[in-house]
Every structure is written in structure tokens, then in C-alpha cells.
Chain A
Amino acid sequence: MPTETETPVKGAATLEEVVNRQLGRRAFLKLTGLGVFTAAAGSLPAVLEAATPKLRTQRRYGMVIDLKRCVNCKACTIACKLENKTPPGVVYNPVIEEEIGEYPYVQRRWFPKPCFHCDKPPCTGVCPVTATYKRKEDGIVIVDYDKCIGCRYCITACPYGARFFDFGENYPAHTTAYGQVPSPEFQGEYGLRREGKSPVGNVRKCTFCLHLQDAQGRYTRPPACSETCMAKAIHFGDFASESNGGCITHEGCNLKRLLVEHRWIRLKEELGTEPSVYYTL
């Protein structure tokens, strides 16, 4: 099993190496041929551009959440709210708690619940205007705020309650300087909240902190929930073949190895949604 903490481009010294690994030799030769041709035409960037989308299809981001480590501090919920500046009633990563049994045999169980970015998401197909979709390049399910009409059909279709409607409500702090700091979500495109303007009136959901990716789709920082977790319970990484489970949050850790070494579950597996978030027990 290829090991450890490699992020897709880490350890790949040259463009040839990167492309070779991702696409195979044949594709590289084709690209080289194209490269020679276009370089002759004086446009090397075009070659890089042709290569980039292919490279990006290789990523499959996901999480392994270690329930033995989670202490129910809810720092992930708070960190997510602060990172994305979500309004009241929009909570991308709540911690779900249940109390089971009666005194003296009472038990509590809990788990953080971000969007699972399912491989077969039931929420995207129902959108009447294709506003929500699973990104081909990295498997992240997002909502295009400019297209979403706010019908909320996707909220009904998500079996995990991972979608929220933005009612346009604000925290009291909205009228202070806090309200002037734009949300970085989607690279700040919808940063400042304006009445009636997107994302108000849209459906919102966890984006795996998409805005922390660089132009090549690599994370410059792990998503806020996993970065903040003091118990190191939330492991975020790339399941795709190249990085093969490399964890972005914790150095020396590998998501696939965690799954091999622990018993794990995914919620409502019977629905066939193939969540990208695993819980180890």
C-alpha cells in the first residue's frame, strides 16, 4: 500500500512525474506531443491547462472521524461557524447527541455530522435547475448560489439532514464590525450578507471548506472542523489513488490505514449513498 502523508503533488519533482503518475505514460506522451505542437505555436500554458483538469479529477476528499477520540466538545461546530460565518439556523457540522437508557444505566452517544459528500448523492438529482452537484474534480457536493431558486427539494432528499435554508436571519453582532468581515466561503464571492441577495434564500451546506483549496485543488489548510479538533478525532484527506488516503490534517496519518485498523461504519449504508465520511468505533 503506498504510504503516508503524500499530498498529490508532494514528492513529485517535475511536471513529467506528476502527469505520469496521474495519467499514465501513454497520456503523458500524448500530452508531450500536444506540448511540442503548442509550444511551437508559442503557448505552453495551454498544455498545463489541458493537464490540470485531468489532474484534478483524481482527488476524492473525505473524512474519517474517530468516535473513540471525540469528546463532544463541539469545537468543530464552532470552528465551522466561525470559518464560514454561517448565520443562525445554518450549522454545517452539528454534533448529534442521544441519551440512551435509564438511571443508573444511562449512556450518551454523540458524533459530529458534516455533509458526507456522498459518492451517489440523492440530493443533487432532485434539483430542478442543476444548482447543486458533485464536483467531478474532487467529489465535493456544492450548491451554486447563483442558480439555486430556494425550492428546498434537496433538503427533503438528503437522508442525513446536511442541508440548511438561509432564512436571511443574522446574529446581533451582524450590525457591528463582525458584519463587515466577509465570509470566505466560495472565495468570498458571497462574502457580505445583503438583504435578499444570495446566499440568503438559498440552500446551504458544508463544502469541506472548499475555499481553503489552492488553484490546483490542494488544501492550504485543513477544513476548520478537522483542524480545530483538539482530540485529533477528525481526519481529513484524499481517498484518491494518487494520495491513497493521505491525511491532510494530521501528519503521518493515513485515512485508508485508519479504516483497515479500526471497525468503521457509515450512516444509513443501506441507502447506497456511499458517504465519503466514515466513523471509526
Chain B
Amino acid sequence: MSERCGKWGWRVWGILAILGAIGVFQRFAFGHQLAAYGSLVPWGLWVAAYIYFVGLSAGAFLLSSLVYVFKVKALESIGRLALVTAVITLFMALVSIWFDIGHMERFWYVFLRPNFRSMMAWMIWMYTAYFLLLLVELRLAFQPGSLKRDRLLSLLGSVGVPLAIAFHGGVGALFAVVGARPYWHTGLFPILFLSGALTSGGALLLAVVALRWPEKDESHGRLVRLLSKITLGLLLFDLLLEWAEVSVPLWGGTAYHTEGLKLMLFGPFWWVFWIFHLFLGSLVPIWLLVRFPTDTQKAGWAGALIAVLFMSVRLNIVIPGLAVPILPGLDQAVLNPRLTASYVPSLHEWLVLAFVVALGLGMFGASRKFLNLYEKTAEAPR
């Protein structure tokens, strides 16, 4: 079965890679002209993909810290996997956002002349530090065990935890500090980003461990059950925060604060929230995890559903916040597709996203082949 699975996997990956290559070619040949965002909704699919992948990374990393900092024995065997996932998804995030900026060749200006009044500059500096730390930690995690290495890993993990919290909270703050957009401008936003990161990162690890683990023995079952519980708890907590974020402005009822929410809940893309996020991405996985607590296969599918469909949460953060015209009538003032309040990602944007996904899957496949992903990090000889 796994051989057939592998064959199909390769085919799907090949198609993604070819489509992605077309998208990247278009991006370099035509710049931003084939993208569907405009000047009223200036951010779209790629920014949503960026916060999605970066969330997966921060979540996976924070879970790896349970192994390297908090020494949770039961999770030891996923330490390496979590770190590799964190590196790959961060890389995917950076590639996504690189395609999004207007002058790709100037990305390094953020290091050359940063403006530390800008939350974006803080975020970039912090994820650079986080990326470097991740690489060193990854290198150490694959080295033979020694007491010195264990201490270093623990130290790096300890520095990494606040860094990952600050950096992903910073991604949320990047949106939250924009006073012009009431949909984003709440104190809960950075925290919501963190809980979303943990939920999606945890769910991704659950999916990989439950579905792709090489030896499905008793210890594997225990590991999956523990990850299931962690993911379920995180998802429920995330839904609680989301409830607070949605219900408070709706209860208050002032149009200024509810327009974006109403767009998300009842606008033309209501199904992204109700069907993809709430039903398929939350209720079905909760049911699977609660109803079949010992079924590793179903736990894996639950994890996969949460992790993949979390993209709908990220899309619903970026787009409804922008698609409410900032001044009534501004979207009607000039007849130009770049100056309307509606946004649907273009085929080109999806193709570029396909490239990023193919890139990530390729890196993951390669790391599965060349690294001992599923072995616990060697312990120091006692």
C-alpha cells in the first residue's frame, strides 16, 4: 500500500511542481500584473500563506521545546521531526512573502535600514534570529549525544521559546497595531496568532506522526494519543479565543467594528469560515478525536484536516480586514479592478502557492530520505 501511496505522492508532487514552476515563471516575467489584489485590498493569498506557514513553524518549534527544554520524555521521539518541520515551514513562509513584495531584489533593505517604529521591521529581525537559532539547533539535534550538546540544545531551546513567542506574537501585532483597520486592531490578536500557531503546528505534527510513522507499534500508539490530546486541547482553546474575538464586537454592534466580521461570517465567502474552518477544520476533527481516541489513522486525518484547513483562518484574517472599504464609496470612485473592495486570488497566485507547497513537500521528502527524522535525538552517554 505504501508503495502505491508513494507512487501517487510522487505524481501529485510532480504536478504541483510543474504548476508551481509556471507560476514562478509568470511572477518573474510579469511582476505583479497577474495577481488579483489591488490598492484597496493590497494583501491577498500570499500574505495569508505567509502567516499560515510561519504559524506552522512557530507551533512546531514550541512543541519541540517540550522535548529539548521541558524534557517531556513521552514526546522525545518527535523532537527532530518538530525541528525539521519548523525549519521547512519557516522557509516556505519566507519564500511566500518574498514573492509578495514589489521589489524582490530589495528584501535585504530591511536589514540595511530598519525602522524600529515599524512592527514589520521587528518581526523580520526576530524571525531572522529565530531562523539562525533553528538552524544551529537542528544541526545539534542530529549530532551524536554528549552532555555538552544536550546543555547547548536546552539553552538554545530556552532562548528559542521566548523568541518564537515574541516573533509570532509580533506577526499578530503587525496586524493588530494598524489602527485604521478595526478588524485587526484588538489586543487579543497577537495571542490569537500564538494559539493558532500552536494548534496548527501541533495538528501538523499529529498528522505526520500518525500517518507517516515508519513503525506503528505500541509506543507509536501512545505517542499519537498524547499528540491527539495536546492538539484537541489547543484547538478548543483557540476556538475559545476566536469566540471572544468575534462575539464581543458583534454584541457591541457598532458598524465600525462589525463590518469586517460580518463580511467573514455572512459575506460572499461565508463558506470559508462556516464549512472549511468551523465544520471541516474544527468540528469534524474534534468528533474524530473524541469519538475514536485510540484510532491512530483517524487521529492522523483529524490532524491533517486541522492543519491544512487552518489556511482558511489565515485567509479570514487577512482579507475581511481589508475588503471593507476604508471610506464609503472609495471602492466605487474609479472603475478599475485594482480599486475594488472584492478580492479573489487569481490562478497565478494559486500557482505560486503550489510552488511553495511543492518546495516544502520536496524538502520534507528529502529530509525523510537523508535524515533520521523519526529517531529520537541520541542521548548523552550516562
List chain A positions with a Cβ less than 8 A from chain B: 77, 88-91, 94-98, 113, 122, 125-131, 147-153, 155-161, 163-169, 195-196, 198, 200-203, 267, 271
Contact = CB atoms under 8 A, between A and B. Distances in A.
Nearest to B321: A156
Contact of B178 (A95, A98, A156, A267): A156
Contact of A202 (B33, B35, B102, B119): B102
Contacts of A155: 39, 42
B113 interface: yes
Secondary structure at the B interface, as helix, strand, loop or mixed, is loop
Contacts of A153: 118, 120, 174
B339 interface: yes
Contacts of A168: 30-33
Given A130-B115, A151-B102, A200-B31, A271 B107 contact: no
Best-buried of B181, B337, B339 by chain A (most CB within 10 Å):
B339
A147 B42 CA distance: 19
Interface in B328-365: 328-330, 332-334, 336-339
A163 B330 CA distance: 12
B31 A201 contact: yes
A127 B339 contact: no
A95 to B, nearest CB: 6
A98 B329 contact: yes
Contacts, number: 152
B61 to A, nearest CB: 23
Nearest to A90: B39
Given A97-B332, A150-B102, A271-B180, A128 B121 contact: yes
A88 B338 contact: yes
B117 interface: yes
B373 to A, nearest CB: 34
Best-buried of A90, A129, A160, A201 by chain B (most CB within 10 Å):
A129
Contact of A91 (B32, B35, B339): B339
Contact of A161 (B32, B40, B107, B115): B40
A73 to B, nearest CB: 14
Given A127-B115, A130-B113, A161-B40, A148 B103 contact: yes
Contacts of B117: 125-126
Nearest to A158: B180
Given A90-B39, A147-B106, A156-B43, 15 more contacts: A91-B339, A94-B334, A96-B327, A96-B328, A98-B329, A122-B178, A129-B112, A151-B100, A152-B43, A158-B180, A158-B326, A168-B32, A195-B31, A196-B31, A271-B180
B288 interface: no
